[in-house]
Every structure is written in C-alpha cells, then in structure tokens.
Amino acid sequence: MSKYPLTRITIVLALTTLFLFVFSHLGAFAFETFVSNEDVYAEGTTVASVNVANKTPEEAKILLAEEITNWKSQQKLELVILKDMLELKEEFYSIDLDTTVSSIQSGQDNSLVTEINQEAFQNALTTASFSIDINAIDYELLETDLIQAIGMLQQELVLNIEQYFTTETSVGTISEASIKLGEIPAGLSNFIGQFPTIEINETSQFSLLEFLKEHEAALTAKEDLSILASALYQVVLPTNFQIVERNQSIELPSYASLGYEAKVSIDDNQDFVFTNPNTDSYSIKLDLVNDRLYVSLIGPQFIYDYSIALKDQEKFPPRTIKYFSAYVNKGDVQIVEEGKDGLLVSIYREVFDQTGFKIEELKISEDFYPPIHRKELHSIEASLPDRSGTNNGEESVGFPSNEQSEDGQLEESDNPSQSPSNEGTTNSNESSNESTENTDQDSATDSGSNTDSASSGSKVTTKKMK
C-alpha cells in the first residue's frame, strides 16, 4: 500500500476539479464565439430604425412585428390630390417580414422589404380625382418614395401628386397684373429700382414685411407698402399659391380694384404673406412704366389652370346726414361730404384640368367696404316745423351727446360709417313739447337709404348748429 494514498487522491481530485472548471468556461466561450455569434445580430444592427442587436432572427421578427403593428395604427402617410387627401391604407402595400429578417445585414441599417399593390393604389388615385391622367404620372418615382417611407416606418409624410407628373413644363409667364398709380411714389420707385425681381423659393413662405426687414429696404410709407402688396396679391391669386395673411382697408383705395386690395402697415403689424407649395422656384418681376406698376410671375407652368372669379357683388347706397346752421341761407344746401356706396364681393379661385373641365372652386375671401354717408349742411330754418306742426312729414328726434365749437361747427359723437345692417334702428322720440326755438340744441336729419340687406324704414334726426 502506498505511503501517500491521501496525497494522491487529493491531487487527482484537484486536477479533476481544475479540468471541469476550465472546460466549462472555455466551452461556453467557444460556444459563444463559434456558434452563438452566428445566430444573433451584431451591435449597430437596425431595421427601420428598430434596434435588433444581440437578438436572434426569431426574436428580431417578433420585435419587428410589434413595431409594424404600432406604426400602422399611428402613421399618417398622405397624398395630396388638389383639395383631397388620399390616405395610404394598408390595402395599398404589403410588408414581407420573413424576407426582411432573412436579408438583414448584421451591423448595418436595414429597411423593411415592402411592395406596393399597384392595382389597388392606381384605382384609388383615379377615384380620388377622375381628372388625373394616370399615364402622365411618374409612377415609378412615386412608388419609390412610398416604399422608402413605409420601409423605414416613417410616421408622417405628405406627398403632392403634382410633383410626379411627367409632362414637360416650360418656364414662362404664369400671370400678370398692373396697377394705375397716377403719380408714382418716390419710395416705391426706389424700392423697385433696388429690387426689380423677388425670388420665391420652392415650398417656402413669403412675408412682405420680413422681406423688407431682411434686405433692409427703405419702404415704410403705408400707401407704398399697400400698393406693392396689392400688386403681389393680384398676381399670385390665379395660381396655386396659398394666401396666409391679407388685410384690407375700410375704404377701397383709388389704386386698387374691388377684390384685389391688400393693405400692409408696419405700425399696425399688418402683413401680406403667401406660401409657394410647389417644388419649383418662381420669380416676381416688378416694373414701373409711365404711371403704371406692372408685376408678373415667372416660372414653370402648372399642371392645372387657375382663374379668379368675382361673385355676389352688392352695393349699399349711403345714407344722407343733414346738419343745420344759422349761417346757411334758407333753401341753400352745402355738401360737406359727397358719400360713397358700400361694396361687397366674394373672390373665388377656379381650377381647370387640361381639358378645360372645372375641377374645383375655392372661396378665397369676402371683401366688404361700408358706405361713406353723404353729409349736407342746411339752413336752420329748414329744421323748424311749420305752423301746422307736421314738419313736412319728417320725424324730429333728439340727438344726444353732440358738442358744438365756438365757431358754430358741429362735432359728431356718432360714427356715420355704419354697416347697412345697422340702419333703421332708432330710440323712441323725446317729448313733442320740447321747444324747437332753442338753437343751442344740436340736431340733424338723417334720411335712410334701403338696400336688400338693410332694414326698411328711414331714420330722421335733427341737429341744429349756430
């Protein structure tokens, strides 16, 4: 029997333990190195921005399926067809998840394998707008953009069908306008000399005040700004440019035509803003010839034709306000202000396809200019009732809160330029026993004029002046 049996057993057990320990760790390392790395994706591996690193193909497939389901419930992919929006429904495309997983490049960015259902999609295009010629659309380019958006699970995307038309468009004058000025303002002349051309970039918004500020243009007079804005407004109206902000005056200026005025004021923070939704840039040319401002829009022709129609025009005759003064001879009438008709008009943009068929009619605005009332100065004797007390059939109504200056001029506290819809309303008469001999009591006669939209009846008010 060996002298050292315990020692030998101890050595054997130690060696066995060491072997098992080393084998287990080296075996796991070898497995991870030569087997596991072949079944999981390396760091930096993504599919449609979804991280699948350190996941097996089966795990990646489950994860991607969940992401696709969530994306379908939230995505907003749309195609603009004139005024209509065609939503990208699930029936228009399919995602091949199995092919996607089997083709993943480890350590790289990947996209989902996607296919467009051409028949269903083209039918939807035709239904959305029957005026569209499917053969004129670069369908391959449209399909590529859609596949890219779906393949990357893009949440939001708006595509305009017009940018995919294959019809060659020539560059030329899109629209023209002119404004008669009479005397040309010096400020406007200097501005046009400095900026004869204004560039409108693709898919951009143009603000007149921002343009002036950016280029440090010395054009500040309210009328000069409004003339320029009215010219710009008139030239972009018959296009697909979108009007974002446009203001108007209380009274139609002499240089502007009804429906084509745009007021701009730095002090009042009133701007003229529009957007170019096209993928092409355009130029606006400005020129002064004799007493006219000419403006033209130049760039690629549109797929559709646009025109402007003025509809539902109405006139509202002014009322006549009579003032009375002791300094006017009996029977004489002095015209203080001639007055002017109120105006109402609706502006529509009409869209026509290549065959001349009207596709759309869009109401741009409704412009209203209230009437400016006629003011007459009569003799004070004309306001006194005759001996029979009938006052020639006119009703005398006290006029409150009028102030009279020392020189006999009347300062009114009311606003004569009211909408016709407010006419025909009066307070009840004051006592008929009130003395009419006191010329310090101011009064006026306001004979109403009726329109279709005005209340019937007339309002007569007497105002006396020294």
Looking at the fold, whether 320 and 460 belong to one and the same domain comes out as: yes
Q: Which of 142, 164, 186 marks a domain boundary? A: 164
Looking at the fold, whether 52 and 95 belong to one and the same domain comes out as: yes
Looking at the fold, whether 214 and 237 belong to one and the same domain comes out as: yes
Of 134, 67, 58, 130, nearest to 101 (Cα)? 58
CA distance 153 to 333: 79
How many domains does the structure of the chain reveal?
A: 4
- Where residue 189 falls (left for φ over 0; alpha for ψ -120 to 50; beta otherwise) is alpha
Q: What are the residues whose beta carbons fall under 8 Å from the beta carbon of 271, sequence distance 6 or more?
A: 207, 208, 209, 210, 245, 247, 264
Cα–Cα distance list, 148 to 117, 123, 144, 152 (Å):
15, 21, 6, 6
Q: Reduced to 3 states, what is the DSSP secondary structure of residue 241? A: coil
Looking at the fold, whether 175 and 274 belong to one and the same domain comes out as: yes
Residue 410 burial (CB count, 10 A): 21
| Residue 430 pLDDT | 34
Q: Reduced to 3 states, what is the DSSP secondary structure of residue 98? A: helix
Q: Which of 164, 183, 202 marks a domain boundary? A: 164
- Tell the residue number behind the tokens 């060696």, with chain if given: 15
C-alpha 270, offset from chain centre: 15
Q: Which of 140, 164, 188 marks a domain boundary? A: 164
Contact 376, 463 (CB under 8 A): no
Looking at the fold, whether 14 and 72 belong to one and the same domain comes out as: no
Both tokens of residue 278?
Answer: 């096209």
Looking at the fold, whether 324 and 461 belong to one and the same domain comes out as: yes
Residue 137 burial (CB count, 10 A): 18
356 part of a folded domain: no
| Residue 45 pLDDT | 93
The low-confidence residues of the chain, meaning pLDDT below 50, are 1, 35-37, 387-466
406 part of a folded domain: yes
CB hemisphere CA count around 307 (13 angstroms): 10
| Residue 132 pLDDT | 62
| Residue 449 pLDDT | 36
**pLDDT tens figures, 36-92:** 445 889 999 999 999 999 999 999 999 999 999 999 988 888 888 766 778 888 888
Looking at the fold, whether 192 and 71 belong to one and the same domain comes out as: no
Beta strands in 68-135 (DSSP E): 76-81, 84-87, 93-96, 109-110, 113-116
269 part of a folded domain: yes
| Residue 106 dihedral angles phi and psi, to the nearest 5° | -60, 135
Helices (H) and strands (E) in the chain, counts: 8, 25
Looking at the fold, whether 334 and 466 belong to one and the same domain comes out as: yes
Segments forming the whole domain that contains residue 20: 5-38
CA distance 305 to 351: 6
Looking at the fold, whether 24 and 99 belong to one and the same domain comes out as: no
| Residue 149 dihedral angles phi and psi, to the nearest 5° | -65, -45
Contact 334, 377 (CB under 8 A): yes
| Residue 160 pLDDT | 80
Sign for the pseudo-dihedral over CA of 258, 242, 201, 283? negative
| Residue 167 pLDDT | 62
CA distance 258 to 308: 12
**pLDDT tens figures, 247-256:** 999 999 999 9
| Residue 119 pLDDT | 84
Looking at the fold, whether 219 and 320 belong to one and the same domain comes out as: no
Q: Reduced to 3 states, what is the DSSP secondary structure of residue 294? A: strand
273 part of a folded domain: yes
Looking at the fold, whether 271 and 127 belong to one and the same domain comes out as: no
311 part of a folded domain: no
CA distance 444 to 450: 19
350 part of a folded domain: no
CA distance 453 to 434: 35
Beta strands in 144-247 (DSSP E): 156-160, 171-180, 197-200, 204-207, 242-245
Contact 163, 289 (CB under 8 A): no
Looking at the fold, whether 326 and 393 belong to one and the same domain comes out as: yes
355 part of a folded domain: no
Contact 339, 372 (CB under 8 A): yes
90 part of a folded domain: yes
